[in-house]
Chains A and B, each alone.
Chain A
Amino acid sequence: GENVEQHPSTLSVQEGDSAVIKCTYSDSASNYFPWYKQELGKRPQLIIDIRSNVGEKKDQRIAVTLNKTAKHFSLHITETQPEDSAVYFCAAYNNNDMRFGAGTRLTVKP
């Protein structure tokens, strides 16, 4: 089955700096890669996603890149703000099966 690895597990940045979180996946058939933001005790919220036929997608301060050949994808957050502090999960989807990475706890220091 699919195996998703996510790094780093924790990330601390200064407000205004950029943050990058990386994920790799094992199943080359996976074709959809969402990123979720989860605050403590709350449901994950989809923040951006990318399909396998696209290499990059951007939404304001958030961007995701996908390298299908290398089977890795990354989340980029620019101009980070304290409210970006949360746990971020990547995921890989194939055929009605969604697998999550272990999560990255992002702390943005004011």
Chain B
Amino acid sequence: GAVVSQHPSWVICKSGTSVKIECRSLDFQATTMFWYRQFPKQSLMLMATSNEGSKATYEQGVEKDKFLINHASLTLSTLTVTSAHPEDSSFYICSAPDSRGTNEKLFFGSGTQLSVL
């Protein structure tokens, strides 16, 4: 199946700093990338949907200026958590449908565990 590579797998940062998370589709072109956040023992909550070459679509309640999403190429999408605070600590995970298929099957990155001190 398709592979989505996500980095870093974990990051610890000080409050107020910014953190960038990258997701790359390795063997297919990801025209769409979904970004999810998952708090401990909770479900995957969609934060935003990014489309290559256009602005991301954010879910209600997700701050666009805080969670910057860039999808500049068909194989790379990034999420930058700006001015991170302890409440932003969470598991962030990306996923993309394989455009070669029917576009429904999602392939997930390995996730990034963010801890903000």
Q: Which of B11-19, B65-73, B76-84, B101-109 contacts A (4 or more CB under 8 A)?
A: B101-109
Q: A41-B113, A43-B110, A43-B111 are in contact. Are A34 and B105 (CB under 8 A)?
A: yes
CA distance A98 to B3 in the complex (A): 18
CA distance A89 to B91 in the complex (A): 16
Q: Is the CB of A42 within 8 A of B110?
A: yes
Chief secondary structure at chain A's binding surface: strand
Q: Is the CB of B32 within 8 A of A96?
A: yes
Q: Which of B44, B103, B105, B110 is the one whose CB lies under 8 Å from A46? A: B105
Q: A96-B32, A100-B43 are in contact. Are A42 and B111 (CB under 8 A)?
A: yes
Please report the number of residue pairs spanning A and B whose Cβ atoms sit closer than 8 angstroms. Answer: 46
A31-48: contact bitstring with B at CB < 8 Å (1 yes, 0 no)?
010100000011111100
B25 at the interface (CB under 8 A from A): no
Size category of the binding interface on chain A: 20 to 34
Nearest CB in chain B: distance from A45 CB, A: 8
B42-55: contact bitstring with A at CB < 8 Å (1 yes, 0 no)?
11111001000000
Using a CB–CB distance below 8 Å, which chain B residues touch chain A?
32, 34, 41-46, 49, 91, 93, 95, 97, 103-106, 108-111, 113
Task: Taking A98-B106, A102-B42, A103-B42 as given, write out 6 further A-B residue pairs in contact, using a Cβ cutoff of 8 Å, ordered by the A residue number.
Answer: A41-B91, A43-B108, A44-B44, A44-B108, A89-B44, A98-B104
Closest 10 CB pairs of A and B: A43-B108, A32-B104, A102-B43, A100-B44, A103-B43, A93-B104, A100-B43, A43-B110, A44-B108, A43-B111
